[in-house]
Amino acid sequence: MHEIKPGQSIDLLKELHILTRDGKMNQDSRRKLKQVYHLYQFIEPLLQEIKQSHQDIQLVDHGAGKSYLGFILYDLFFKTLNDASRIYGIETRDDLVKHSQELASRLNFPGMSFLNLSVEQSIASETLPAKVNVVTALHACNTATDDAIRFALKKNAQFIVLVPCCQAEVAAVLRKNKGKDLAKNVLTELWRHPIHTREFGSHITNVLRCLQLEAHGYQVTVTELVGWEHSMKNELIIANFKNLPCNRPTERLKEMLQTLGLEEMNGRFFTRM
């Protein structure tokens, strides 16, 4: 059991099916636990930075699903804070919300809240704080990642941690406009073939998201989330608000949308504050 971090709840690991009911760990579970800890290594320094400024941490996990990430973060970091720090799991599937609420109660994790809300509802909801420190969205499919970005911008989040997934919308627009754009722009060769349309659409979606965040003053780091097993989507985007100059990334974002024939998506990437 040497792989398990000190202070980690064995009961939680059993509930997450990392450990069997008799406390055993097979090879697949061992790999899963290492992957969870790898993700934690990216987020823990951000939490430490907030604590160094003597703030309570308000973290919102959008598209939380079974709140796998939230429970691990709470168990490894939040449960010993003894302050007003809180993790909020936002999820639209009521059965998952209820399951997480019951699990938090069983584990005596009082600093966790689970809310059945859409993004629009979560922005306006009085059950969430006006200012949020960290917003996470891991494997939030297609536009759900963009919804999380919009929420984070509205809440003036210091840190945004994203692992995007299943990005189909930009590819669909590229596909729709392919015929008329082919003749006038050699760059359309990048997505002329259907498999390239899908792959390039996914890639350009994340490029546009990074420019969007930079256009709001964030410093953006893009890296690989090594070995995360649940998806082939392995890109990790971490944004840190630094109040950086916004003009150049704003112009680059606008130019990128125009160059690729994606002007109809201006409303998605130019988020109103």
Instruction: Kindly state whether residue 65 falls inside one of the protein's structural domains.
Output: yes
Range of the domain at 89: 1-161
Terminal CA-CA length for the chain: 48
Helix (H, G, I), strand (E, B) or coil at 94: helix
* pLDDT for residue 183: 63
* pLDDT for residue 165: 77
Looking up tokens 């097993």 gives 229
Instruction: Kindly state whether residue 124 falls inside one of the protein's structural domains.
Output: yes
CATH number of residue 48's parent domain: 3.40.50.150
Same structural domain, 146 and 183: no
**What would the pLDDT profile of 88-142 be if each residue is shown by its tens digit?**
999 999 999 999 999 999 999 999 999 999 888 998 999 999 999 999 988 777 6
Run of H or E including 28: helix 27-52
Whole-model pTM: value is: 0.91
Q: For residues 192 and 174, is the Cβ–Cβ distance under 8 A?
A: no
Same structural domain, 11 and 44: yes
Pairing verdict, β 235-241 and 159-165 = antiparallel
The DSSP bridge partners found for residue 221 are 238
Edge-first strand listing for the sheet containing 58-62:
112-116, 86-91, 58-62, 134-141, 159-165, 235-241, 218-224
Number of folded domains that form the chain: 2
Same structural domain, 2 and 107: yes
Instruction: Kindly state whether residue 273 falls inside one of the protein's structural domains.
Output: no
3 or 241, greater pLDDT: 241
Identify the CA nearest to 67 among candidates 115, 27, 122, 9. 115
**What would the pLDDT profile of 154-165 be if each residue is shown by its tens digit?**
999 999 999 887
Same structural domain, 20 and 140: yes
Q: Which of 61-75, 130-144, 181-195 shows the lowest per-residue confidence on average (mean pLDDT)?
A: 181-195
Instruction: Kindly state whether residue 214 falls inside one of the protein's structural domains.
Output: yes
